[in-house]
Amino acid sequence: SKLLEVKDLHLKIGDAEILKGMEFSLEKGEVFALIGPNGCGKSTLAYTLMGINNYQPQAGEMLFKGQRINDLKINERAQKGITLAWQEPARYQGVTVRDFLALGLKSQGQEVTEAKLKDALNKVAINPYQYLNRFVDKSLSGGERKRIELASLILMQPELIILDEPDSGVDVVALNNIAEMINHFKNSGSGILLITHSEEMLKYADQAALVCEGEIIRQGNPQDISEYFKSFCYPCAKEEDCET
Ligand code: ADP
Ligand code: MG
Ligand code: MG
């Protein structure tokens, strides 16, 4: 059965229609990539799935393991096993890396051990000895905060992971770790919604869909979607608008 089903999802912000009937599904152990140019609604979809304030769809359904989640709060969705790795990870004044990671573990009712924290940081190429006592604030670069957020996902082992542009703002070393991490989650049976605007990331996906102005305009195997994305005359043009 499906891990996540999104059916005819519509979302307006003010008068602007941002999601216009999004529809797709993903299974356990599957990496489903949503690729699309900047501004096409990818992050909006991520917030809507997670249940961020004011991202309440006007129409359509979101089902997690067959259960409708439209009306669940963000923390209720998190407890069910849905997590979001933000495109721009937040800063937390006065919270150390150790506190931050421990909080994630505790939120899942898991025991906190030093070994678990170190192991997760090593997996994202962050040296635990240098970082565990640092603060998750502006003293860390965006890339470092992003990697620490990914480490917290490794610890939480959510069933559904929404990765919003995990490749943006991180270096090549970290990119390799993202690939490893995707495999790690896949092998442990989690489903991954991989949001990206770079076709490089599609090589990690099992299924892919191209998003254009709040709609999926093509879905299929990642290689085909990648070719189609590359051959676009204009990033968000529909096929019939392209000059050949
Ligand atoms: P992507 O993640 O694909 O780059 P976003 O989901 O961030 O796209 O944005 C989709 C569209 O919605 C853009 O046109 C953006 O300007 C608009 N948008 C996003 N957030 C808001 C908001 N809070 N108020 C008004 N428009 C918004
Ligand atoms: Mg964007
Ligand atoms: Mg975005």
Does the Cβ of 235 fall within 6 Å of ligand 1? Answer: no
**Structural domains of the chain ordered from first start:** 2-37+56-196+217-241 (3.40.50.300)
Cβ 16 under 6 angstroms from ligand 1? yes
54-97 pLDDT tens trace:
899 999 999 999 999 999 999 899 889 999 988 778 888 999 99
Question: What is the 63 CA–ligand 2 centroid distance (Å)?
Answer: 25
Question: In this predicted model, what pLDDT tens digit does every residue of 200-227 receive, in sequence order?
Answer: 899 999 999 999 999 999 999 999 999 9
Beta-strand pair 160-164/59-64: unpaired
What number is the ipTM of this complex?
Answer: 0.95
Q: b vs e for 70-106, b when ≥16 Cβ sit within 10 Å of the residue's Cβ?
A: eebeeeebbeebbbbbbbebeeeeeebbbebbbebbe
Q: Which residues pair with 26 in a beta bridge?
A: 4
Q: What is the whole-number distance in angstroms between the Cα of residue 56 and the centre of ligand 3?
A: 18
